[in-house]
């Protein structure tokens, strides 16, 4: 089953709510234009999958809105690569795994008590660095494992 980009969320600053966008410019070595982590050394984009949010919702006992998880890109389905160095491609943009994303302390504030625990690994998503530039849009195809070795 192939995966696609379900949604894209950007936060203009720390502790500010994320905003949904239909597409975003991705800059190699810098991140997503307009996001709080743009210009950071390695934390360029965070990616999660809807099926992981469904599993977290079962633990939490209520739905998990992708925009409230503070992750940038939500895919229609996983699995998402998690081992450092693994790669995936969204549209023309190549991403490389940096690490598994740790749940944000703000999750309990945004989603309610227990959210941080419900979104612990393996449901919390992955942090990637951008190896190439391009535009990522809702509906784009995702190719796993490309370029990894």
- C-beta separation of 35 from 26 below 8 A: no
Q: What CA–CA distance (Å, rounded) separates 134 from 84?
A: 22
pLDDT at 148: 43
**What is the model's pLDDT at position 149?**
40
Q: How confident is the model at residue 5 (pLDDT cuts 50, 70, 90)?
A: very high
DSSP state of 104: P
Tally Cβ neighbours within 10 Å of residue 123: 22
Q: What is the pLDDT of residue 1?
A: 58
The C-alpha atoms of residue 61 and residue 55 are separated, in whole angstroms, by 10
- pLDDT category at 8 given cuts 50, 70, 90 is very high
Q: pTM (2 decimals)?
A: 0.90
Cα gap 28→34, rounded to integer Å? 14
């Amino acid at each position: 089953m192939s995966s696609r980009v379900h949604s894209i969320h950007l936060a203009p600053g720390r502790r500010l709510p994320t905003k949904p966008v239909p597409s975003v410019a991705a800059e190699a070595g810098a991140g997503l234009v307009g996001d709080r982590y743009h210009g950071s050394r390695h934390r360029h984009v965070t990616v999660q999958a809807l099926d992981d949010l469904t599993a977290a919702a079962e633990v939490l006992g209520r739905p998990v809105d992708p925009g409230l998880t503070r992750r940038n890109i939500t895919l229609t389905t996983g699995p998402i690569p998690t081992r450092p160095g693994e790669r995936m491609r969204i549209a023309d943009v190549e991403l490389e795994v940096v690490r598994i994303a740790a749940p944000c302390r703000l999750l309990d504030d945004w989603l309610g008590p227990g959210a941080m625990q419900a979104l612990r690994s393996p449901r919390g998503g992955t942090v990637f660095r951008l190896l190439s530039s391009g535009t990522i849009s809702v509906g784009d195809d995702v190719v796993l494992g490309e370029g990894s070795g």
